[in-house]
């Protein structure tokens, strides 16, 4: 169910210290994406490693894998579950450690990354970002396809060198692919046949 909308300056992001997955580099990167999305909407979020490090009346975003004790508490209290399959995720409001939390849960590292990026996207696109945290509808998903791939072709030094050597472009582009849950990327180098003329084959 939905919890109350709490003051924006009383938000906290808790990375379950007892969960090994929350310390993995991809998860920490996705946490920063969420923090940046919140900050851009005027919400300053403090990061902690335990629930007892946060004010008891704060809006608490708990990050943990489906195997962590705190995540299990939140899921069980909400009558929800995250499937034990690759890349599954859950955004669920429940109770953990005797307090209300918004749980960002994943079955594995990628599931956690996708959950964090999903929440970041909802914050970025919402007219009322505080309402996203306070009244978020339950989301529990798993991939329909195990491989979700996209290819990008470099075929012209005139047309393609600009983006190929642009580090900021790659950061934005790869972040966008991760947020849209692509899990494969293929950079193709060679001759493109997008507008062939007099090609007999």
What tokens does 165 get?
């050597």
Q: 89-96 and 99-106 as β-strands: parallel, antiparallel, unpaired?
A: antiparallel
Task: Tell me the mean pLDDT in the region 142-157.
Answer: 93
Residue with tokens 């934005």: 172
| Statement: residue 6 has pLDDT above 50 | no
Whole-number pLDDT of residue 175? 95
The CA distance from 102 to 99, in Å, is 10
The model's confidence at residue 200, banded by pLDDT at 50, 70 and 90, is low
Whole-number pLDDT of residue 8? 41
Instruction: Report the candidate in 92, 118, 103 with the shortest Cα–Cα distance to residue 181.
Output: 118
- Model's pTM, two decimal places? 0.86
The CA distance from 21 to 108, in Å, is 7
Task: Tell me the mean pLDDT in the region 25-43.
Answer: 93
What tokens does 170 get?
């790659």
Bridge partner residues of 110 (DSSP): none
pLDDT in tens, 51-109: 888 877 778 899 999 999 999 999 999 999 999 999 999 999 999 988 889 999 999 99
Q: 46-48 and 89-96 as β-strands: parallel, antiparallel, unpaired?
A: unpaired
Choice between 193 and 80, residue whose per-residue pLDDT is larger: 80
| Statement: residue 129 has pLDDT above 90 | no
Task: Tell me the mean pLDDT in the region 23-51.
Answer: 91
């Amino acid at each position: 169910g939905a919890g109350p909308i709490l003051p924006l300056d009383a938000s906290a992001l808790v990375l379950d210290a007892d969960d090994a997955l929350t310390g993995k580099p991809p998860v920490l990167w996705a946490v920063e994406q969420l923090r940046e999305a919140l900050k851009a909407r005027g919400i300053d979020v403090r990061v902690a490693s335990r629930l007892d490090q946060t004010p008891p009346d704060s809006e608490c975003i708990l990050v943990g894998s489906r195997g962590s004790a705190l995540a299990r508490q939140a899921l069980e209290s909400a009558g929800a579950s995250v499937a034990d399959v690759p890349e599954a995720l859950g955004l669920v409001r429940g109770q953990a450690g005797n307090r209300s939390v918004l749980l960002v849960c994943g079955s594995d590292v990628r599931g956690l990354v996708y959950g964090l990026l999903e929440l970041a996207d909802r914050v970025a696109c919402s007219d009322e970002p505080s309402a996203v945290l306070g009244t978020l509808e339950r989301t529990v998903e798993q991939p329909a396809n195990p491989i979700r791939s996209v290819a990008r072709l470099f075929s012209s030094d005139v047309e393609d060198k600009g983006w190929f050597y642009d580090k900021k472009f790659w950061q934005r582009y790869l972040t966008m692919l991760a947020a849209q849950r692509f899990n494969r990327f293929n950079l193709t180098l060679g001759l493109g046949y997008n507008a062939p003329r007099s090609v007999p084959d």
